[in-house]
A = this chain, B = another copy of it.
Amino acid sequence: MFSKEDNEILCRVGPGTPMGKTFRSMWMPFMLPEELPAPDCPPVRVRLLGEDLVAFRDSEGRIGLLDRYCPHRRVDLFFGRNEECGLRCVYHGWKFDVTGKIVDMPAEPENTQMKEDTRIKSYPVIEWGGVIWAYMGDQATMPAKPPEMEWGLVPAEARFITKRLQRTNYAQGVEGGIDSSHVGILHSHLDPEHPELPFRQRQISPNLAIPYLASDTAPRFFIRPTNYGMAIGARRNASDEEYYWRVTQYLAPFYTMIAPLREGRAFMGHAWTPIDDHNCWVFTMTWNSDRPLDADELDHGAVHSEVTDDGTYRPLLSSENDYGLDRVRQKLYSSTGIEGIGMQDTAIQESMGAIVDRSVENLGSGDAAIAGFRRSILKLAKERESSARLEIADNPQWFRVRSTAAILPHGTDFLEGTAAYTKVD
């Protein structure tokens, strides 16, 4: 059983919390470059780890991430003017550059010492791999690079990244991302020709190409702690001498990966970046390690991004409209009656409440990855308690892994047997 105390540690991400300090030791993706499309474009409100911030791209194309509120009189800098290499508060004209230095104070005497003595909180930002990353920790312990996720290493035309708001704690997202035992149920289609048959005989596996997924809905899970987090092996029977293995990863602190359903097709993965204790950004990465994405792969990636186009990245469907739940569709065509894999996941994860009470769950053998993730990240938080820097933050190359599926003879260790496929060079 997971205690209420551990649940608090797992879910709270504000300044000073154990998990908040852990996340502040690493670079985190938080925006898409499209949100700051050009020099001097409008500033954007950002909320990250429970802090209210504002992002802007200056005249030279550099990105600044500042406290949302002007240090003078606490006016919201979202209303500021982005001009000539700085963001200017419109109340009394204080102006800040991307590093947080004050470069103008028009209502004060020309050579006031205040200009040197006052600063605004600002965080370093990197644009890399199709996303914008922030580091919110001490300058002294800043890691040199973001984690070398494969989707960041491939050329731009080989990846597609979307973003959407989820109204839950990040951990509920991560747990959904690594929970492969729900795939055959939550995301299953139903044979519409035979509504009279029992549910389990009507289920159509999300991918017909892999017969093992349908024939064995209760795979055995094997969890292996790794330097980047955890590898998950899902074992299904393939033949009398062989198993069908699907190997996926959890990468600290909030990345997940899914193996492609067919060889040569795009990989998918997610980052579940905490906005605050009750909300997270779901970044969905679709990438091909060998070639540019084709139309099919782009289409498939896009199902995770049906969001409003007002810059808020809110899904068009939400709890207010029961995620478009259609009871006739649920009777005839799909488990949920909700359209789209992303929306099905969000509906379920949000329906638990923003922070689910893990102390009253009943985990089974199908939930081994869930339990493993919790152990893994609590261990990382403990490491952070005793050390100002995290080893994983200083070893971005540890993240050079990918998911895979393989048929292996009985007796073969799944990590060893798939090592050649899961390693990113």
- Interface residues, chain A, with chain B CB atoms under 8 Å away: 42, 69, 71-76, 78-79, 81, 83-84, 88, 90-93, 104-110, 112, 114, 118, 181-182, 184-186, 198-200, 217-218, 322, 325, 327, 330, 335-336, 338, 344, 347-348, 351-353, 356-357, 360-367
Contact = CB atoms under 8 A, between A and B. Distances in A.
Contact of A361 (B72, B108, B338, B352): B72
A327 B44 CA distance: 12
A236 to B, nearest CB: 12
Q: Which 5 A-B pairs have the closest CB atoms?
A: A76-B351, A107-B366, A107-B181, A93-B185, A42-B327
Nearest to A357: B74
A351 B69 CA distance: 9
Given A186-B90, A347-B79, A366-B92, A218 B107 contact: yes
A360 B322 CA distance: 42
Given A92-B182, A181-B107, A198 B84 contact: yes
B110 A218 contact: yes
B114 A73 contact: no
A365 B76 contact: no
A76 B71 CA distance: 44
A114 B182 contact: no
B91 A185 contact: yes
A218 B106 contact: yes
6 contacts: A73-B363, A79-B322, A79-B338, A92-B182, A107-B182, A114-B362
Contacts of A336: 79, 90
Contacts of A327: 42
Q: Which of A72, A81, A200 has the most CB of B within 10 A?
A: A81
A78 B327 CA distance: 11
Contacts of A361: 71-74
A186 B73 CA distance: 13
Contacts of A118: 362
Contacts of A338: 79
B182 A81 contact: no
B74 A107 contact: no
A115 B365 CA distance: 12
Contacts of A365: 108-109, 112
Given A74-B357, A114-B364, A218-B110, A348 B186 contact: no
